[in-house]
Structure 1
Amino acid sequence: MSSPSNSRVPEAVDAWRMVAARKVFEGRIPLAAMARLRDGLVDAEGEVGYTMEFGTDALGVAFVELQVEAGLPLECQRSLRRFVLPVQLSQRLGLIRDEADEVALPPGYEALLVADDGMLKPAELVEDELILALPVVPVSADVEEVEREFAPTAEEVAQASPFAALAGLKKGHSP
């Protein structure tokens, strides 16, 4: 295994050459540089740390193993306050040339379809994994659950009933 490269990670790398060289990259990316991820965040303060290791396993399957660590600023849907969701993930992506190759991947691998030219964009891989890690409904762990049930008032029930609206129309237009 080669030692990690702390130099600036290239915008694009040839996946198959990186696999052959067993290349390892590690670095940091500001959240502000991830335009697609920013849409799901309350702000873009912070950065993402990652390690990306290319190689082949004992079965000869080409892979890139991704370790990602970040704090994602989100808005809690209960309290409507900003909170930082800690994300730590490890994902082994099996590199495939054709979608049909996905069935041959061992358990525990996610498929990553590599373009015909073999080029991958490391920052996009990191961003894709973080987008997948975003919760559908962000809720801060330190917000207490709302235990109380709020029963609607008689007036609210009447307003919510479609027949109440019809009854109101009928009263206003009596012959």
Structure 2
Amino acid sequence: MSRDYPDQVDPWKAAEGRRTFSGTVPMDRMARLMPLLEPPVGEAEFTAQFRFDEERNAVIRIEVRAKLPMICQRSLKRYEESVQRRSLLGVITSADEESDLPGHYEPALAENGRIQLRDLVEDELLLGAPQVPRDPAVDAVRRSFGRSGSEQDEPPASSSDEPTRRPFADLAEQLARKQSGKPEEEQ
């Protein structure tokens, strides 16, 4: 584990000094991310650059890279999802300030005037994680429509000579007869 950064940062002081923090964070310390991962887990690399923009907003340019161990929903086997994210964050002190941020910034809430770098990294990984994990190395599931024991990639084409089976075609007539009270044999 590389520790060239503090746990918490005063974002305005860091922006004033144009500070850059980088290192790795063990993913097992990310409580919100862990339920999505399949142990054992590794580390996430990050770089966070602090500065002020033209409007004197404290901003953070963050880059995060990690391989997330996940379970593929196609094969149900473990694989590593490669995540690389870059974001530009605008520091705010309350949710009310979010609307004041320029549109190209994502909000980063400084609670009690501090930001936890680990939380920023975890947020980026959560945003980069797939909703449905799928190993790109696993081919799409193929369906077998077998004719006489052989597999095909596509369903057999329907012949226009064969009548189409419509199981509910006469349901409306049967319901109408039942409502009128007439037995089916009479009609």
TM-score, normalised to structure 1, is 0.75
Structure 2 unaligned blocks of 5 or more: 146-187
Q: CA RMSD in A?
A: 1.8
In structure 2, what is the equivalent of residue 142 of structure 1? 137
2:96 is paired with a residue whose SS is helix
Q: What percent of counterpart residues are identical?
A: 38
Of the candidates 18, 25, 28, which is equivalent to residue 22 of structure 1?
Answer: 18
Per chain length, whose mean CA-contact separation is higher, i.e. which structure has more relative contact order (CA < 8 Å, sep 6+)?
Answer: 1
What amino acid sits opposite 1:147 in the alignment?
A: R
For residues 68-107 of structure 1, the aligned pairs below 5 Å read 68-107=64-103
1:35 is paired with a residue whose SS is coil
Paired residues of 2:84 and 2:128 also in contact (CA < 8 A)? no
Report deviation, 1:124: 1.4
Instruction: Quote the Cα distance in structure 1 between the aligned partners of 2:92 and 2:34.
Output: 29
1:55 is paired with a residue whose SS is strand
Q: Show CA shifts across 1:93-115 (max 9, x none).
A: 10112323222222321012222
Paired residues of 2:94 and 2:109 also in contact (CA < 8 A)? yes
Paired residues of 2:11 and 2:58 also in contact (CA < 8 A)? no
Which has more helix, going by share of residues?
A: 1
Instruction: Quote the Cα distance in structure 1 between the aligned partners of 2:116 and 2:94.
Output: 18
**1:127 maps onto 2:125 in alignment:** no
TM-score, normalised to structure 2, is 0.71
What amino acid sits opposite 2:6 in the alignment?
A: P
- Are residues 36 and 98 of structure 1, via their aligned partners in 2, closer, same or farther at CA, if it must alter by over 3 Å? closer
Instruction: Quote the Cα distance in structure 2 between the aligned partners of 1:38 and 1:60.
Output: 36
What amino acid sits opposite 2:141 in the alignment?
A: V
Report deviation, 1:68: 0.2
Report deviation, 1:125: 1.1
Q: Show CA shifts across 1:14-46 (max 9, x none).
A: 122112111100101122232321211011332
What amino acid sits opposite 1:40 in the alignment?
A: L
**1:60 maps onto 2:87 in alignment:** no
1:39 is paired with a residue whose SS is helix
Point out the more displaced range, 23-32 or 104-113.
104-113
Instruction: Quote the Cα distance in structure 1 between the aligned partners of 2:11 and 2:40.
Output: 29
What amino acid sits opposite 2:119 in the alignment?
A: E
Paired residues of 1:38 and 1:44 also in contact (CA < 8 A)? no
What amino acid sits opposite 2:114 in the alignment?
A: M
Paired residues of 1:76 and 1:140 also in contact (CA < 8 A)? yes
Instruction: Quote the Cα distance in structure 1 between the aligned partners of 2:93 and 2:28.
Output: 31
In structure 2, what is the equivalent of residue 164 of structure 1? none
Structure 1 unaligned blocks of 5 or more: 1-5, 151-175
Instruction: Quote the Cα distance in structure 1 between the aligned partners of 2:40 and 2:30.
Output: 9
- Are residues 149 and 136 of structure 1, via their aligned partners in 2, closer, same or farther at CA, if it must alter by over 3 Å? farther
